[in-house]
Structure 1
């Protein structure tokens, strides 16, 4: 009886030791079920960290004040301001847009219910937890906006929904002179291949979210789309994927599904095209945050004409600003809460045809500012 008990104990301890050894090896070499466990842990962490009774996108307030403060009215940008957020209505938070004047007075409001996006194909984000990211006020009082990684909608001045497009639309909306829109989108689910790469994206062994550049007409019809990974590989820019995720080199590939993080698309207007010797009207200016990469490509030939990965870090909102210059919001996200390591965020400008770079803001006379995410250049 005593020998039998020792045998059972020895067997249990042996199984436990083997299980522990396999677990360590699976984590080190990526064996099954390492990927499934990592994904489950990330999902659990996302749910734990994101749940809140507050509306999506709410962040702690930095300054102990509220309302509008006007310090230099003569230096303010003229006109009205369109705000996208969520506001309390009948004991619930409701997303929408507000048009306000320089004193913060509400002149008009567009509210909507997230249920208009239910049933969409994208699995990236739940409409009930998504916030508005990307909006524009059109002549006549219509507004267009993205519910982040869910879809895009157009409302008239009365707040009636004119159309929705559920293509995982996110971040920016840029209207071309012909009235059509250029908008970032994302694949319905993580993918490992495309029509151009039916055997899989080289070097990417696990499925990733595939960002897309969407072309949409005024009525919400999808006119065309471009696969961002296809563009990178076709133009020899895949090295930026390796460069950014170099700590994972020699393994099974990057340990993230958010490879590129497309955050802006803007067409070069015919009225400004002559100011940019390297480009032509209709060329698209694109920003990929997670690769610290900005580039211009022709949507007809899918040829990248120019690109830059310096001097910015996790940049947003590149714009054609005139006289051959491109303005970029340089977040400079670092390892400190308020950006004290690198000195905060900046507005920088690049002139592709002269290979020139300037820092426009802050100046030596201004206070620093910092945002680790999002941001718009003036």
Structure 2
């Protein structure tokens, strides 16, 4: 009997409290009355389901310019000196930021707010910053608004929308711009294979004048290959509509025994080659094929060595399905080929020898990006890596990680997709 009375009393008290809470919610929500310090906690409690639902919907609707941050992600920062990079990311669906960012302390030294006239996934990729404070940028693979130069005050100086700019853009010694380009609408290439006409995306390397934005040089990759007896290299790729996939054109900043100033090193991902090309004489100096697959980004390590970011994959995008044969139950009959991650390949232009840089540290930290990705050497022992697909930035020194982090966003649990971050120092 006593137990039943206790239960009944408890129920009555709970109902009374709920009734009181409901009355208070009504008074607060209709702005009839406030209850001092209890007002905000009560408001939070009754609005929490709506806030939670809004949060869930926000995460579901985030564009792919934001990446989920792993819950177990642990940043590393052992930088002893400032490291300035030029990064770009999405602020909102209609706004982009380009920032000069100090990785050592996460401070932003300068920010450019740029309107996005395109869709929510439009990206500003690999912008250029000049010592006079000017900025050159474009929207990746978009014909409009074109390649744009801003002066030190952020005012537009010129724009050129004759070609679509994509992937890496780099400056030469004079500040002129070498860019990967393609004509609007893509396509542009054609060959006949066994009597069948095949149309494909051709690409160009294009040089723009820094002062005026005018095109100083423009050359088709197909023309370079054909004029040097290498047109059949287009057949090496199994992607018939895009056998080339130009992703970097790196100009030489000086003349050495192995290249001349304004020679360019051209990365062609889908046929796994780097071309050493001399625009001034229309000569292909060297066709470089080595232990790299679907590479991005070519840089100079010193006067005789170039480095190549090796994606080390046959996949063209992260979600691409892998065709597999059947698995053998008898493990003794299985030959294990290895475990593969991305890495950096060096090529000595004098000795014609290849070597791997950071292969072990890439394996240990599982650094891998199916597409895009880059490296930037700070000195002979230290280099920056953008692991683009998961959005992680690394600094590696003497095969040890001294920096690992992401570009934090305003959306909890998500970080920014990086867009070919450039080391400024």
TM-score (norm 1): 0.69
Give the match for residue 170 of structure 1.
166
Deviations 1:184-203 (A, max 9, x none): 1102224455xxxxxx5454
SS in 2 for 1:189: coil
Q: Distance in 1 between matches of 2:126 and 2:237?
A: 26
Please list, as runs of the form range in 1=range in 2, the aligned pairs for 1:42-191 lying within 5 A after superposition: 53-55=61-63, 57-62=65-70, 64-65=72-73, 69-74=75-80, 78-88=82-92, 92-101=93-102, 102-115=104-117, 129-150=121-142, 151-166=146-161, 167-191=163-187
- The 8 Å contact of residues 276 and 288 in structure 2, kept in 1 or not, is answered as no
Give the match for residue 30 of structure 1.
none
Deviation at 1:260?
Answer: 0.9
Give the match for residue 217 of structure 2.
224
Question: Match for 1:213 among 195, 205, 209?
Answer: 205
Is 335-344 or 289-298 further displaced after alignment?
A: 335-344
Q: Distance in 2 between matches of 1:177 and 1:228?
A: 23
Q: Distance in 2 between matches of 1:260 and 1:57?
A: 26
- The 8 Å contact of residues 110 and 158 in structure 1, kept in 2 or not, is answered as no
SS in 1 for 2:198: coil
- The 8 Å contact of residues 191 and 199 in structure 2, kept in 1 or not, is answered as no
Indicate how the Cα distance of structure 1 residues 164 and 192 shifts in structure 2: closer, same or farther if over 3 A, else same. closer
Question: Per chain length, whose mean CA-contact separation is higher, i.e. which structure has more relative contact order (CA < 8 Å, sep 6+)?
Answer: 2
SS in 1 for 2:141: coil
Q: Distance in 2 between matches of 1:342 and 1:157?
A: 47
Unaligned runs of 5+ in 1: 1-51, 116-125, 194-199, 246-253
Deviation at 1:56?
Answer: 5.3
- The 8 Å contact of residues 86 and 129 in structure 2, kept in 1 or not, is answered as yes
Deviation at 1:236?
Answer: 2.1
Give the match for residue 305 of structure 2.
325
The aligned length equals 291
Give the match for residue 266 of structure 2.
286
- The 8 Å contact of residues 237 and 243 in structure 2, kept in 1 or not, is answered as no
Question: Match for 2:234 among 229, 237, 241?
Answer: 241
Question: Match for 2:248 among 264, 272, 276?
Answer: 264
- The 8 Å contact of residues 56 and 130 in structure 1, kept in 2 or not, is answered as no
Indicate how the Cα distance of structure 1 residues 64 and 86 shifts in structure 2: closer, same or farther if over 3 A, else same. farther
Indicate how the Cα distance of structure 1 residues 211 and 308 shifts in structure 2: closer, same or farther if over 3 A, else same. same
Give the match for residue 3 of structure 1.
none
Deviations 1:23-72 (A, max 9, x none): xxxxxxxxxxxxxxxxxxxxxxxxxxxxx943454444456448xx4432
Q: Distance in 2 between matches of 1:228 and 1:325?
A: 24
Deviation at 1:114?
Answer: 2.8
Question: Match for 2:289 among 295, 301, 309?
Answer: 309
Q: Distance in 1 between matches of 2:72 and 2:179?
A: 36
Question: Match for 1:373 among 367, 371, 374?
Answer: 371
Q: Distance in 2 between matches of 1:157 and 1:65?
A: 37
TM-score (norm 2): 0.62
Q: Distance in 2 between matches of 1:337 and 1:224?
A: 34
Q: Distance in 2 between matches of 1:100 and 1:143?
A: 15
Question: Match for 2:279 among 295, 299, 321?
Answer: 299
Unaligned runs of 5+ in 2: 1-59, 323-336, 377-425
Q: Distance in 2 between matches of 1:192 and 1:70?
A: 46
